[in-house]
Amino acid sequence: MNIVYAAEKLSIASLLSEYTHLAVQPADIRVMENPDETGSFYVGWDRNSYVLSPGGRIATVKKRGI
């Protein structure tokens, strides 16, 4: 799975850039599986946490420490 994360970090950073209207670099994000939803990921960036749905939608979450 780490290979998948590495390959997709560029895409995830791009989606997060669009969502936040800020430049997000792939090396600056942390990506973890979301055990609550298949195909969903938690994304940590700049003291904030987000969830990426299987459909490519990003939302801010209150969960810290990702």
Domain residue limits at 40? 2-61
Domain total for the chain?
1
pLDDT computed for residue 56 by the predictor: 87
Select the more confidently predicted residue: 6 or 26: 26
Number of neighbours of residue 50 by Cβ within 10 angstroms:
21
pLDDT computed for residue 65 by the predictor: 54
Does 39 reside within a domain?
yes
Does 66 reside within a domain?
no
Does 52 reside within a domain?
yes
Q: What is the rounded CA–CA span in Å between residue 13 and residue 29?
A: 7
For 23, 59, 60, the CA distances from 18, given in Å and listed in that order, are 8, 12, 13
Alpha helices in the chain (DSSP H): 2-20
Question: Model-level pTM?
Answer: 0.80
pLDDT computed for residue 55 by the predictor: 87
23-63 tens-digit pLDDT? 999 999 999 999 888 889 999 998 899 999 988 899 999 76
pLDDT computed for residue 8 by the predictor: 84
